[in-house]
Structure 1
Amino acid sequence: MVTSRLPIPLYLAETVKAGERQAAETMQLAMYTLMERAGAAVFECLNGHYPATTSLLICCGGGNNGGDGYVVARLALSAGIDVEVWHLGDANQLTGDAATARDAWLAAGGRISAPKTELPHDIDVVIDALLGTGLSGSVRDETSQLITTINQAHKPVIAVDLPSGLCADTGRILGCAIQAKKTVTFIGVKQGLTTGQASNVVGELYFAGLGVNTIFDTQQQPSAFALTDTIIPTRLAQRRRTAHKGDHGRVTCFGGDLGMAGAIRLAAEACLRTGAGLTAVVTRPDNVLSIVTARPEIMVQGWQEKAHEIRQQRDWSDVIVLGPGLGTDDWGKALYFHLADCEKKMVLDADGLNLLALSPDYKNNRIITPHPGEAARLLMCSIADVESDRFLAVQRLQQKYGGVAVLKGAGTLVFDGMQFYVCRAGNPGMATGGMGDVLSGIIGSLLGQNLSLSDAAVLGVFLHSKAADLCAQEGERGMIASDLFPYIRQLVNSR
């Protein structure tokens, strides 16, 4: 049975490879039975999403992924679909279960052809069964040429287990990758399907447990966890009827240099909308009137480098959000270094991260929220290095700077020093100014409401992305950061 509701645990490819055999042995199932179930799951996806298919191209490779493709071919042929199978390499070299699946296809009357330079014009759907999870180096030239041919044909593609050319552990494209419309993955969801460049090629992700996923989950250790809607009620407790504003956190947002009042205002309003009891802003004096006029519920103080004023506001605060619109000129630097040694819970973002990169330190009382560019500066590497293995990058950030690290982007990652979390919510409409400031305010508010650093980061990331998805129901293009506020309020009150 194929479902689009993903299980929470995510796994490394090697864990799935070893674990599926262990689970099959426990349940006394032949591995070929799992191959037949995998092919049936892909065929079910085909029928469910492309029921009018009359002509199908299946591209098979040399491993068990290709064997799955041969099972799909046989099922499609028996259903009256015109099936063409291309095998990359020598089909006679297949061994084990893949060879058994090939022989069953031939016995059913099927034929095997070598790949051509163009797809047949009448093909409705392509099944990608070329490369499995074992790929580690770059895609070879012959495979790359076929992948390019498939992508240029602009036909809908269903990928078997993962799009060929995608690294199952990191989400990195290994030279080139199939651009799938649907991906059906098996037994355990591979973590690389959920973040980074995977978002450009996976399409809609489906999961098929093949009847062994329950026992597999009990026998294997996940490498990460995907966030789902269930996180909201489990992290946000119902408020007492006698609650007052002092119970829900006093948060101060520091930032907003000249010309950047909007950033600190967005962070502060996000803090309010997420449920903070009291929210204050320390900013340039020139910004005070505009912020108070737009949102009188925010307490705003102009600051001109008087140290005692910062100490007073710091002492008043339960939580500090530092960085939105801060700038890196003298004013921003002074504000940053007045707060750098603060022991209060802190969210550090934007130019606060750029200043941290110049004077690195390790603290366990803060959450850092870099995008890939900021992460590259913090790690003294390139953006390409960060994006090549986002799991490793967020782990390095946490190990170097302490606390909890959030690596923003497609498939935002959270690492708290012990566990990885992946957020698959969110959409391209979020690629606009101010979205990161809103996230900072959300997380700061949750810290003020007595969530731990880990829970605040995880829930904050999910609320932010989920709100954006609700907002995007009216269209992704043209969505702005402040559009999220009504949806944030809706989500933090959901049960």
Structure 2
Amino acid sequence: MPQPQLSPRKAVAPEQLLYTAAQVRELDRLAIASGIAGFELMRRAGQAAFDLVQQCWPDHSPIEVFCGGGNNGGDGYVLAALAAEAGLPVRVWALAAPAALGGDAALAWQWAQRAGVAVTPWRGELPAENSVVVDAMLGIGLRGEVREQYGLAIQAINTTNVPVLAIDTPSGLCSDTGRILGLAVRASQTLSFIGLKRGLFTLDALDCVGELSFADLAVPRDVYTTLAAAQLDGAVSHLNLPAMLAQWGPRPRNAHKGLAGHVLVVGGDYGMAGAALLAASAAARSGAGLVSCATRPEHIAALVAARPELMAHGVGSAHELQPLLAKASVVVVGPGLGQQAWGKELLVAALAANKPTLFDADALNLIASEPQLLFSHDGPRILTPHPGEAARLLACSTASLQADRFAAARMLAQRFAASVLLKGAGTVVATDAALYLCSGGNPGMASGGMGDVLSGVIGSLVAQGLSPQRAICLGVAVHAEAADIAAEAGERGMLASDVIDQLRGVINGYAALS
């Protein structure tokens, strides 16, 4: 009999896709239609979870399984039955009456009964000191806020200092959006089945999922192919940096700087010269042939001293910017631009040039206040907002935007006819009808200038001939990998310039492929 295969955290689901809960339920239905009984899938899920418990925490006892009333609870009952049959101490805390279970979950409960598992209604008990907890309460079936009894159980689990395995999805976490629905289990490990859920990689999920493993439950490849042939609205492609770098390939041996493009960074109002310098430096370190920086005249000496490879130009008006725009392959406008008359004048000039343009920071804030500005631009557009900027562009609250980052990124892409990168934990990219997710990066990136570096990286890739879609996907993955390498020395105190220092190795594949 085929056994479910476990893969480590950085592996992704078949076809590099991350799925919605509805899509995973359809995969489950197609697997059953292919000839695999529903209870057999549940048995495989319970077996994979039991194997992971044994692999990760062999010295913890007893195994305490918190079971809900659906198929997620059924997976927990299977695990408990297998543990009992192996002679291991195990007990089930029932959050729903076992006698009310139906279908495959009822069969799993009956198996646990035959195996001698003690099943007790949960009444507020805390897990034992050296136990391992299995969260099999809610899974991907949660609708709305967590109900009180489940919330109390989640609190009890989270207050203990014992390892926790979440089956499929930590209870209380929305598997479509990564949002906590009131309360959520903070797991040490999460084991996802059949298809990885897109919400496990963004927003609140990063504090709930722990280490992530995947078990395909030996579902035939044809099942995934059948679903892929249908409309996969909402499916997300998980970005794979080594694969993207390999696809890009090396430079031709006769390459020269003219072939590698010319990036123009526009920004750096008074007090914000560093933002423009960071973006321009990142563009140079990412392989652009030429990098120019249009900024306040007072900043030129400092920029040249810091990075002599840049062509720094002092501009006081749109008229002085025009010849620089004419020479550029791509424009990055916004880092340190400010929202005063000078910044707006330069933005309007950049828009009129109709070059491929990346809009970031204050350029986005100016556009949010006058959206019609953007529609005067006829070239390819890339928008790279953080959640606050994105909320201003959509005229909504940051909280409502963060409630579904995938929908927000797609709405921005459609409304502004642009490729969009929505920054944050689990960065989301929306281009045309496609969605992508970058799961790299770390909390050390919560410091000034990181977004400026990202803008420079993406602008450089566009200058080197990549389409906006490929540039934004490769750029965010390169930036995240460089930040993860920089964070090896510690997350607190990490600077944007530390990330720039790692870009060269990453973009040449030395770090990402090692």
1:325 counterpart residue number: 336
8 A contact 2:65–2:76 mirrored in 1: yes
RMSD value over aligned CA atoms?
Answer: 1.4
Amino acid at match of 1:346: T
Report the alpha carbon displacement of residue 25 of structure 1 after superposing the two structures with TM. 2.4
Check conservation: 2:279, 2:335, Cα contact below 8 A. yes
**Residue 241 in structure 1 maps to residue 253 in structure 2:** yes
Whether 1:16 aligns to 2:30 is no
Q: Given the alignment, which residue of 161, 164, 173 partners 2:171?
A: 164
The aligned counterpart of 2:225 is: 218
Counterparts of 2:401 and 2:29 in 1: how far apart (Å)? Answer: 33
2:451 alignment partner in structure 1: 436
CA contact (8 A) 1:235 1:459 kept: no
Counterpart-to-counterpart distance in 1, 2:175 and 2:244? 29
Distance in 2, matches of 1:254 and 1:97, equals 61
Task: Map 1:149-298 to 2 at 5 A.
Answer: 149-212=156-219, 214-221=221-228, 222=232, 223-298=235-310
In structure 1, the residue corresponding to 2:259 is in which secondary structure? helix
Asked if the contact 1:86–1:114 (Cα under 8 Å) also holds between the matched residues in 2, the reply is: yes
Distance 2:224 2:352 in 1: 43
1:403 aligned onto 2:418:
yes
In structure 2, the CA distance between the partners of 1:402 and 1:231, relative to structure 1 (3 Å rule), is farther
Q: Does the CA-based 8 Å contact 2:444-2:494 persist in structure 1?
A: yes
Task: State the SS of the aligned residue for 1:184.
Answer: strand
- Worse-superposed segment, 359-368 or 287-296: 359-368
Q: Does 1:477 find its partner at 2:497?
A: no
C-alpha distance in 2 between matches for 1:401 and 1:365? 11
Conserved? CA contact 1:368–1:405, under 8 Å:
yes
User: Is 2:433 the partner of 1:422?
Assistant: no
Give, in angstroms, the shift of residue 490 of structure 1: 0.7
Report deviation, 1:244. 0.7
* Whole-angstrom CA distance in 1 between matches of 2:442 and 2:58: 28
Partner-residue secondary structure (3-state), 1:280: strand
Give the drift of 1:375: 0.5
Hey, what does 2:6 align to over in structure 1? 2
Give, in whole Å, the separation in 1 of the partners of 2:170 and 2:139.
8
Residues 33-85 of structure 1, C-alpha deviations (whole Å, 9 max, x = no match)? 11011011111211221121221110000000000001111122233321121
1:91 equivalent in structure 2: 98
- TM-score, normalization: structure 1? 0.97
Mapping 1:49-64, distance limit 5 Å: 49-64=56-71
Aligned runs of 1:94-113 on 2, under 5 Å?
94-113=101-120
- Rounded to whole Å, the distance in 1 between the matches of 2:96 and 2:17 is 35
Identity across matched positions, percent: 46
In 2, are the aligned partners of 1:187 and 1:216 still within 8 Å (CA)? no
The aligned length equals: 493
TM-score (norm 2): 0.94
Shift of 1:123: 4.2
Moved over 6 A (4+): none
TM-superposed CA distance for 1:486, in Å, is 3.1
User: Is the contact made by 1:404 and 1:414 (CA closer than 8 Å) also made in structure 2?
Assistant: yes
Cα deviation, residue 95, structure 1: 0.9
Q: Which amino acid aligns with 1:353?
A: L
Structure 1 portions without partners, runs of 5+: none
C-alpha separation in 2, matches of 1:148 and 1:120: 11
